[in-house]
Chain A
C-alpha cells in the first residue's frame, strides 16, 4: 500500500496511500518538489531546521484541503468505546489516523519516525482494531484494551470529498513555488560549511529530504517528460546519504570530507535541475484555461 509513496511525514504517507489506493494519480501532488538546493541548504544546514519542521514545501494534506479534495480535522477522544464506534460508523470515504505512543511505534511497529507524534491508519473489524503503519509497512491487530494502552487520544478524520480533476492538475502546475525551469545553479563553497555545529547530521538530514524530493520530481515531471535521468541518480543519492550517516556515527570526520560529499551531491542535484529545464522548455504544453 505504501510502495512508491513519497511522503515527508507519516500523515503525508497515509493521505497519499489512501488516495493512490482509491485510484487517484498521486504523482500530481508532487508538483512543488523541485526545491532549490540553495534554499534547502539555508534552511536545513545553515538554520538547522529538521525535516519535520521545514517550510520549503506545503504539506500534501494542506494542498489537498485547499483544492477541496479532502477534509482533514483533528479531534480528541478519551473513551476507547466511543472511538471504536466512531471508526465503525465511518463511510467509504472516511479514514481515521490515530496517534500512538512513541514506545509502541518503536518497539512494535519498528518505526523510526522523526516526530514524537506518530500516526497510524486504523480500522475496525469485528471487535478489534486493525492498524496499518506506513514505514516500515506493517499491519497489527489489537483488541480494545491493547489499543487503549497505545493510543494517545488524538486522531485525524480524513474524508475524501472528490477525485483529483483536470482543473486541479492545471492549478497544481501553475501554483508551483519552485520551478526548475527558472532556477539557477547553487555555488556551494567550503566556507559555507565552516562553523556549523553538527554539520554531518544537518547535511544528512538535507540529503534525506532530497532523496524523497528526487523521487517526487521523477514522478511529477515523469507525467510530462521522460525522467529516467532522475531515477538513475536515486541510488547514488541513497549511497551518499548512507555514507554521510556512516561518517556521523564514526565521528571525528574533517570538514573537508563533508565538503567533498556535499560538493558531489550539489553537482548531482544541479545537473538534474539543468536537465529538467532543458526538457521542460522543449516539451511541456499545459495551460490553465
Chain B
C-alpha cells in the first residue's frame, strides 16, 4: 500500500504513467535535488510523518526503492 501511494505521487510529480522500483529519480524520472525535497514534503504530508534531518540525504535517495525503504522506516511500527 505504501508503495502504491508513493508511486502515485511520483507519477504526478514526474508526469509518468508508470514508475519502477529501480528507476533512477534523477536520470529516469527527471527529479533533481530540489524536486526530491518537494517530493519528501509531499510524502511527509501524505503519510503524516516528519523525517529526521539526517534522512534528508540526496545521496541515499537515488532510486524509487530508496523512497519505499525510507518511508517504511517511519510508517512501520
Contacts and interface: CB of A to CB of B under 8 A. Distances in A.
Interface of A: 107, 109-112, 135-138, 235, 238-239, 241-243, 245-246, 249-250
A191 to B, nearest CB: 25
Nearest to B28: A136
B26 A242 contact: no
A107 B30 contact: no
Contact of A249 (B27, B33, B41, B59): B41
A286 B15 CA distance: 51
Nearest to A244: B37
B8 interface: no
Contact of B27 (A111, A137, A246): A137
Contacts of B59: 235, 238-239
A242 B30 contact: no
B34 A136 contact: no
Contacts of B27: 136-137
B21 interface: no
Contacts of A137: 27
A277 B40 CA distance: 39
B53 interface: yes
Nearest to B30: A110
Contacts, number: 50
B63 interface: no
Nearest to A261: B53
A65 to B, nearest CB: 29
Nearest to A250: B41
A246 B38 CA distance: 8
By Cβ-Cβ distance, the 7 closest A-B pairs, closest first, are A110-B30, A245-B37, A136-B30, A235-B59, A242-B56, A239-B57, A249-B41
Nearest to A211: B33
Which of under 10, 10 to 19, 20 to 34, or 35 or more describes the interface residues of B?
Answer: 20 to 34
A242 B55 CA distance: 10
Interface of B: 14-15, 26-27, 29-38, 40-41, 53, 56-59
A246 B45 CA distance: 13
A136 B35 CA distance: 12
Contacts of B38: 249
A219 to B, nearest CB: 19
22 contacts: A107-B15, A110-B14, A110-B29, A110-B30, A111-B30, A136-B30, A137-B27, A138-B30, A235-B59, A238-B57, A238-B59, A239-B59, A241-B58, A242-B33, A242-B56, A242-B57, A242-B58, A243-B56, A245-B34, A246-B37, A246-B56, A249-B41
Nearest to A241: B33
A213 to B, nearest CB: 16
A196 B32 CA distance: 27
